[in-house]
Amino acid sequence: MIYLDNAATTKMFEGALGQYQKFACDLFYNPSAFYREGRLVRAELDNARKSLLEKLGAKEGTVIFTGGATESNNLAIMGSKRNGKWEYVFSNGEHPSVFNVAKELERQGAIVHFVPLQASGEVDYDKLEEIVCEKTRLVSVMHVSNETGAVNDIARIKKIISKKSKALLHVDGVQAFNKIMFDISKLGVDLYTISAHKFHGPKGVGALYVKDVKVLKNIVFGGGQENDLRSGTENVAGIMAMKWASEHIDVEKNFENAIKLKNIMTETLKQDDNFKIIESFSPYIMSVSYAGVNGETLARALQDEGVLVSTGSACSTKKAGNRILESMGMKKEDVKSSIRISFNAYMSADEVKKAGEIILQCAKKIKNLEL
């Protein structure tokens, strides 16, 4: 089986699994307990927080541990909501865990703006500048598109915001953290979402970087853990596994290897002119379409041949069409024909080349059958 759906989830490192077992079975104590064992676990959590801040390049702020990216995004958006005639701005390219929160804000009566995408998949910076105003409370734009690998210029977005308002900037960094090089202290971000299972950690754990905890209010009520922003006993085992995975990723080395893998796939698929490939900066994700072949049909055929790809976000598989590709102005037939291929940096060149050849063969076979 060749797994090419790493944007959906990644295989957990064995070392991370070892950490999970250690803190689930041996050092299983509640970090809020007063006795020594509990305090020792609390110290480990604090070290994990510092480790993630260092990996982000943060010179200030803190990390709030959550149950994953969806919760982090909800906390960032709903936690920053305030009464009054504030406006909220989102890109049309956001993951459902942001986009659907934006729609809920709208349903609750807030003024919500959606910024269109460029053909490249990036947000339309000029339109963003037109929309942001003094009444803007929050702008939320993802770092790397989970659909296409397009990378938004976060520093540029921060400059646009700063010209016209004091709005907070939230970034969904799920497909960026531990995959592309960046220094969060230079981006001007107020809130930044990460998810462990996207970088070989466990599912069900994530974090929200918060530059200043005063800008948020809790949306879950309870014992007051995590700066009173995320009540509930912390998932210590998951957090420590996430820490281990993060610390054992060489972002620059992996980035270079991912480029090689993506180039191999690109060169293989370009042997057939029917393949269209969306150019993107992130080497981990590519969106391709084969003229006249339904993407879902191709994905199912590939599964039978031992290659796993997707037709888009795993969180949107029950919905028809593709909101993000459509927002980029893609033709309906290309959207319908698209599949998403996503790599991890530890794949071999041989298996990627083999997968590319199988994709070619399956697409041609389906095309011939439909003629």
Compute the chain's Rg from CA coordinates.
21
Cβ neighbours for 45, distance < 8 A, ≥ 6 positions apart: 31, 65, 234, 236, 239
Cβ neighbours for 258, distance < 8 A, ≥ 6 positions apart: 179, 283, 284, 343, 344, 345
State the DSSP H helix or E strand holding residue 48, giving kind and residue range, or none if neither: helix 36-56
Tokens of 112: 């919500």
25 is catalytic: no
β-pairing verdict for 191-195 and 275-277 = unpaired
Tokens of 172: 């969904």
Q: Answer yes or no: are the C-beta atoms of 164 and 132 closer than 8 Å.
A: yes
Q: What share of the chain is helix, strand, coil (3-state, %, to 5)?
A: 45, 15, 40
Paired residues of 23 in beta bridges: none
CA distance 17 to 11: 10
Q: Answer yes or no: are the C-beta atoms of 7 and 340 closer than 8 Å.
A: yes
Three-state SS sequence of 309-344: CECCCHHHCCCCCCHHHHHCCCCHHHHHHEEEEECC
| DSSP per-residue codes, 256-307 | HHHHHHHHHHHHHHTTSTTEEE---S-TTEEEEEETTS-HHHHHHHHHHTTE
Other C-beta atoms within 10 Å of 86: how many? 16
Active-site hit among 25, 133, 315, 362:
315
CA distance 128 to 165: 12
Name the residues annotated as catalytic. Answer: 315
